[in-house]
Structure 1
Amino acid sequence: MVRIGVDFGGTKIEVAALSDDGAFLSRLRAPNPGNYDDAITTVRDLIDRTETATGKAESVGLGVPGSANPKTGLMRNANSTYLNGRNFAADLTTALGRPVRLANDANCLALSEASDGAAAGAKVAFAIIIGTGCGGGLVTHGRLVEGGNGVGGEWGHMPLPWPRPEEMPGPTCWCGQQGCLETWVSGTGLRRDHAATTGRDQPGEWIIGAARDGDKDAAAALDRYIGRLGRAMAVICNIVDPDVFVLGGGMSNVDELYGRLETAIRPYVFCDSWAARIVPARWGDSSGVRGAARLWQS
């Protein structure tokens, strides 16, 4: 059986075909064209080329930024803003001549890693994307949890918990609220915090490297980042109690997170002996397309 997954990113669109055992049969990429009609055409053409190479697929799943309103099907909260207000799944169904399933990209990461990745076998797995933005996805007993309104796991737009006086009210987020996690624990948030404290705007990679080289300001920014991420993850522990956290996105490559987050989380968890595994995504940036291909199994 061939399953097709589509990872609809802000700069590129990837289509992959997977076998039943999760092996890649084909992978194709194209630039995101930046407008709705051409995006439909690009996805259709990539799928056609993939099926020419591998044979007809049993199913097509699509991972996207933002989410679809389960009542209307209309997209919302996508950073590819031309998707918002459009019924992307229905229009792709028409273009392809068969149904597709659509889910948030962080949900696809969670489903991929819970199926055969770093969280395989977990009772409760929470996947976190910490890159340019911040997102989350929840899988329980192998099944994706999207919720009644399709916003299950939308972790990036809750406020920073247990805020310090200097963290209030927090930066204004693109969503219109203040102090969202996305403004604090994304890679962009690390850069913003370092610049606000030092007056020097440096990319995240520079800050991490400088911290390792002994730069006190960079080390302090990394300390604050880990503390804030730990507090944010503790809220998830107190609500759904994951046995595994899987980290994806650019900040998931920072090795210091895996040695220090447990200590940052533990004081805020309402439990006498809390423990959970905190691991990087096994499939890296392939998790999105792999999870999309598995949407018909969830």
Structure 2
Amino acid sequence: MIVSFDIGGTAIKGGIARSETDIAPLARRPTPKDDFAAFVAVLGDVIAEAGETPDCISLSIAGVVDPDSQALTCANIPCIHGRRLAADLEQKLKLPVLIANDADCFAMAEAMTGAGRGHRIVFGAILGTGVGGGLVADGRLVNAAGGFAGEWGHGPIIAPFAGTPAVAIPAYACGCGQKGCVDTVGGARGLERLHQTVNGVTLGSEEIIDLWLKGDEAAARTLDVYTDLVAPPLALAINITGATIVPVGGGLSNVPKLLAKLDVAVRARILRKFDRPLVVPSECRVEPGLIGAALLGLRYAEDISDAA
């Protein structure tokens, strides 16, 4: 049995997993952001609610574990930011602890129980407020020991011109410290930024999408530029990883016409040709972080059992 957690800046969601098909959520609790002892106590309370000692606990979290130092970067929860969180929790809770980025857990959930079932290599893409991703190969999360594999949202790769006729695209500053990252144009905030650049009008992403779906020419121009910018780096990620399916999560994944448009553009730019959709909506719409963390924990327990 595994106890899994989806750790957010507002709430901690827990669950009990006995198999891939038996994952039950527990009550959610507020996240103690500034008190590590209180943070540990909440995890302990959830574990106690499970009623038995788990083989391990597994956490999905909006942060990244450094693969060398094992220190966690998690700016929105100060009490765990910079800690070697797995080691600290193992000392306090006396249980093995696994930690993975929430986008990695999303990719794991999709690979094992969602749109990626039956595929050897699954690239999970997030098009939410910003851009993220995770990579699963042969049922294994590539970032199981921490790291940045699958983070296609960062790196100075955005084209300086896009659309037909071409419009100049500034090298927008990114929160990672670089300029011209996919993250600056690919998520909801990026779509808004592009609409302002292309049309000189400030609108929210939902307004832009709604206008586009109603046939608005200015919004259509923005979406053409958007696709022209986002499809090439995603196609490159697919070429490099060999992924045969790309489940997409995040707010923009809820727009079927947008994913279909992106899918066509991506498939036109990759080396391997597919006669089926490649960029598809995610299927794990409820608690993918919790499910992905549970699957990581279950795989860990299987490995320990096989080694015994």
Paired AA for residue 180 in structure 2 = G
| Aligned twin of 1:106 | 103
- Cα separation, 2, equivalents of 1:286 and 1:264: 29
Is 1:220 the equivalent of 2:225? no
Is 1:124 the equivalent of 2:121? yes
Shift of the 194–137 alpha-carbon distance from structure 1 to 2, 3 Å rule, reads same
Unaligned runs of 5+ in 2: 301-308
| Aligned twin of 1:61 | 58
Normalised by the size of structure 1, how large is the TM-score?
0.88
| Aligned twin of 2:76 | 80
| Aligned twin of 1:252 | 253
- Cα separation, 2, equivalents of 1:167 and 1:101: 44
1:213 deviates by: 1.6
Asked if 1 retains the 8 angstrom alpha-carbon contact of 2:231 and 2:266, the reply is yes
Secondary structure of 1:179's aligned partner: coil
1:240 deviates by: 1.3
112-121 or 92-101: bigger deviation: 92-101
- Matching residue within 86, 90, 104 for 1:89: 86
Asked if 1 retains the 8 angstrom alpha-carbon contact of 2:152 and 2:234, the reply is no
Is 1:13 the equivalent of 2:12? yes
Shift of the 191–39 alpha-carbon distance from structure 1 to 2, 3 Å rule, reads farther
- Cα separation, 2, equivalents of 1:148 and 1:99: 14
Shift of the 191–40 alpha-carbon distance from structure 1 to 2, 3 Å rule, reads farther
- Cα separation, 2, equivalents of 1:294 and 1:148: 15
1:124 deviates by: 0.9
1:199 deviates by: 4.0
Shift of the 229–215 alpha-carbon distance from structure 1 to 2, 3 Å rule, reads same
Residue by residue, what CA displacement relative to the aligned partner does 1:230-259 show, whole Å, maximum 9, x if unpaired?
A: 112111122112111010111111111332
Paired AA for residue 90 in structure 1 = A
Root mean square deviation, CA, Å: 2.3
- Cα separation, 1, equivalents of 2:59 and 2:145: 20
| Aligned twin of 2:304 | none
Asked if 1 retains the 8 angstrom alpha-carbon contact of 2:256 and 2:281, the reply is no
Paired AA for residue 201 in structure 1 = T
- Cα separation, 2, equivalents of 1:59 and 1:263: 42
Unaligned runs of 5+ in 1: none
Shift of the 254–30 alpha-carbon distance from structure 1 to 2, 3 Å rule, reads same
Residue by residue, what CA displacement relative to the aligned partner does 1:264-289 show, whole Å, maximum 9, x if unpaired?
A: 11343235x34562222211141111
Paired AA for residue 97 in structure 2 = V
Shift of the 135–252 alpha-carbon distance from structure 1 to 2, 3 Å rule, reads same
1:168 deviates by: 5.1
215-224 or 288-297: bigger deviation: 215-224
Secondary structure of 1:159's aligned partner: coil
- Cα separation, 1, equivalents of 2:244 and 2:209: 28
Shift of the 147–291 alpha-carbon distance from structure 1 to 2, 3 Å rule, reads closer
| Aligned twin of 2:241 | 240
Shift of the 105–223 alpha-carbon distance from structure 1 to 2, 3 Å rule, reads same
Is 1:192 the equivalent of 2:193? yes
Asked if 2 retains the 8 angstrom alpha-carbon contact of 1:130 and 1:185, the reply is yes
57-66 or 137-146: bigger deviation: 57-66
Paired AA for residue 194 in structure 2 = D
| Aligned twin of 2:173 | 172
Normalised by the size of structure 2, how large is the TM-score?
0.86
When the two structures are aligned, how many residues end up with a matched partner?
292
| Aligned twin of 1:29 | 28
Secondary structure of 1:157's aligned partner: coil
Paired AA for residue 9 in structure 2 = G
Shift of the 144–21 alpha-carbon distance from structure 1 to 2, 3 Å rule, reads closer
- Cα separation, 1, equivalents of 2:113 and 2:205: 30
Paired AA for residue 249 in structure 2 = G
- Cα separation, 2, equivalents of 1:258 and 1:147: 28
| Aligned twin of 1:39 | 39
Paired AA for residue 20 in structure 1 = S
| Aligned twin of 1:262 | 263
83-92 or 93-102: bigger deviation: 83-92
- Cα separation, 1, equivalents of 2:157 and 2:31: 32
Residue by residue, what CA displacement relative to the aligned partner does 1:20-51 show, whole Å, maximum 9, x if unpaired?
A: 142332332223333252433333333333x1
Paired AA for residue 242 in structure 1 = A
Paired AA for residue 191 in structure 1 = E
Q: Percent identity?
A: 34
Paired AA for residue 7 in structure 1 = D
Shift of the 21–150 alpha-carbon distance from structure 1 to 2, 3 Å rule, reads closer
Residue by residue, what CA displacement relative to the aligned partner does 1:198-253 show, whole Å, maximum 9, x if unpaired?
A: 44432222211111122222222222222322112111122112111010111111
